[in-house]
Structure 1
Amino acid sequence: MNLPPVSPPVLAALEQLVAVVARLRSPDGGCPWDLEQTPQSLIPYVLEEAYEVADALRRDDRGSIIEELGDLLLQVVLQSQVAQDQGQFSLEEVAQGIADKLVRRHPHVFGTVTVADTDEVRRNWEAIKAAEKGSSLPRGALIPKLQRYGQTLPPLTAATKISRKAAAAGFEWETVDGVWDKFAEEIEEFREAIAQGDTAHQQAELGDILFTLVQLARWHGLDAAEALHDTNQRFVQRLARVEALSEKPLDQQTPDVLDRLWAQAKLELQRPS
């Protein structure tokens, strides 16, 4: 297998990062904070850095992308160093494992398999993945995967992946009209739950609405998580403009004034700069 050579400066930079982290974790003069960390205590930082990378990518900010990818890379190296200190595994095993996996799952690049398009690449990936786990998706194999999505991913992302996998397995409406009918049904059931005053029931029906909205997004080729992210950004931007337009604190304004300022802010932000 012929692989392109890795640039010596890249290897040197990675080696320096590994050495810096090892020094921070050294019992002989290392950093007390780094020495106190465990795989579990570092979980919030892994999540935070991943989201900050996503934000930098959305903004297409080169400097921020470089910085945030570095912060995320630090979490990989630090987790591996902590594991090595505990006698569990090393960064070498982590890197070798993912390299081997990529080679196995790209037989059209590293082997003799021929593919027609990206859809065939995805199908091959899933088939190889199933074979690696000792399964060709027998009855019941789908459920642990869906459970894992629900446990490990942000709710909207999990709902999207669960929806897609269930649909691929045949659990799908015949047309999008059925999804719209289901959405109307869930709205009505939520209204009834609100009227009844049972909080647990209300939560369940609200969840049904959100999950059905994810189904609609999937049918129309939209990303529900991205859509909500964009709406959050627009709301904050508009509210910031309302605050700038207001002559006094927002909590001292009347609803009518706030409505007028909101409409003005929305109009101003829609105008081309």
Structure 2
Amino acid sequence: MMSHAQPDASPALQRLMTIMARLRDPERGCEWDTVQTFETIAPYTIEEAYEVADAIQRGDLADLRDELGDLALQIVFHAQMAAEAGHFTLAQVLDAISDKMERRHPHIFGDDPSGGHHRWEEIKAAERAARPDDPSALAGIALALPALERALKLQKRAARTGFDWPDAEGPRAKIHEELGEIDAADSDEQREEEVGDLLFAVVNFARFLKINPEEALRKANAKFERRFRRIETAPDFEALNLDQKEALWSEAKTTAARD
């Protein structure tokens, strides 16, 4: 069978590592790079991951190449800081993910031909249970994930333990319940809590409908932006009253349906 492995990328990776080490040099390095920490770089790492996703969504492969480079830079940056502090090296990072991929694919790299990709979550669960620091079924779900995505992951993990609604009617009813609790709230703090519960219930309902809520909201955002950009070009838009703006909005929706 023909291998689709990529050509040896180690010279290119070594070049990037050398550049980063030079940028971080306390005497000859860049004044910005030398003062960065894991905490200050983390937001850039998240941003670059989103820009990768954006390039994919736009189908721009040239941009995807550039954005993957930016994301790779973030990985090298974190590894360089870790190496400087004596925590770990980039080689150890890469070895760790290689070990994990082989461990979680025993039907490919091991001696378990009866297994399959369906065992991925089973193996992950066993690894979590073996961790002395946090054996919870919810362990390892990153706090920095977008809130909708994290809610979905929490619900899926809990569902694997049997803690779940029997069907979509449960989360659907919960949505109506949470709307009532928002109306009954008597403080801003309570309303905030109940709105959070409402959003969590909507995510749960979407899960039962097999809809990714993050993707659904992303598409809704894009649709709103397209329509608003269309109506705001109307003469003296800001001076129009709400009824006039609503009429433009309805027209934009009709036009979009015809496009």
Unmatched 5+ stretches in structure 2: none
**1:239 paired to 2:228:** yes
TM-score under structure 2 length normalisation: 0.90
- SS of the equivalent of 1:32 reads coil
- Distance in 2 (CA, whole Å) between partners of 1:13 and 1:166 is 42
Alignment of 1:48-127 (within 5 A): 48-115=47-114, 120-122=116-118, 124-127=119-122
**1:7 paired to 2:2:** no
Number of the residue aligned with 1:47: 46
Aligned residues: CA RMSD? 2.3
C-alpha change, 1:21 and 1:265, in structure 2 (3 Å) is same
C-alpha change, 1:135 and 1:242, in structure 2 (3 Å) is same
Letter in 1 for 2:144: T
Letter in 2 for 1:191: D
Number of the residue aligned with 2:214: 225
- Distance in 1 (CA, whole Å) between partners of 2:246 and 2:29 is 57
Number of the residue aligned with 2:17: 18
Tell me the CA shift for residue 55 of structure 1.
1.4
- Distance in 2 (CA, whole Å) between partners of 1:37 and 1:72 is 16
Number of the residue aligned with 1:142: 136
Give yes or no for contact 2:128–2:137 (8 Å, CA) kept in 1: no
Number of the residue aligned with 2:253: 266
Alignment of 1:244-255 (within 5 A): 244=233, 246-248=234-236, 250-255=237-242
Structure having the higher helix fraction is 1
Letter in 2 for 1:114: P
Letter in 2 for 1:266: K
Tell me the CA shift for residue 239 of structure 1.
0.8
Number of the residue aligned with 1:155: 147
Tell me the CA shift for residue 206 of structure 1.
0.9
Letter in 1 for 2:228: L
Give yes or no for contact 1:186–1:208 (8 Å, CA) kept in 2: yes
Give the aligned length: 256
- Distance in 1 (CA, whole Å) between partners of 2:98 and 2:212 is 30
- After superposition, give the CA deviation of every residue in 1:126-175 in whole Å (9 maximum; x if it has no partner): 333344455399xx943552xx5373322101110111111121111222
C-alpha change, 1:152 and 1:115, in structure 2 (3 Å) is farther
C-alpha change, 1:143 and 1:100, in structure 2 (3 Å) is closer
Unmatched 5+ stretches in structure 1: none
Amino-acid identity (%) = 38
- Distance in 2 (CA, whole Å) between partners of 1:133 and 1:178 is 29
Letter in 1 for 2:235: E
Tell me the CA shift for residue 267 of structure 1.
2.0
- SS of the equivalent of 1:149 reads coil
Give yes or no for contact 2:107–2:114 (8 Å, CA) kept in 1: yes
Tell me the CA shift for residue 5 of structure 1.
6.1
- Distance in 2 (CA, whole Å) between partners of 1:69 and 1:115 is 35
- Distance in 1 (CA, whole Å) between partners of 2:22 and 2:176 is 59
- After superposition, give the CA deviation of every residue in 1:75-131 in whole Å (9 maximum; x if it has no partner): 000111111122221111111111111111111110121246xxx523x22333344
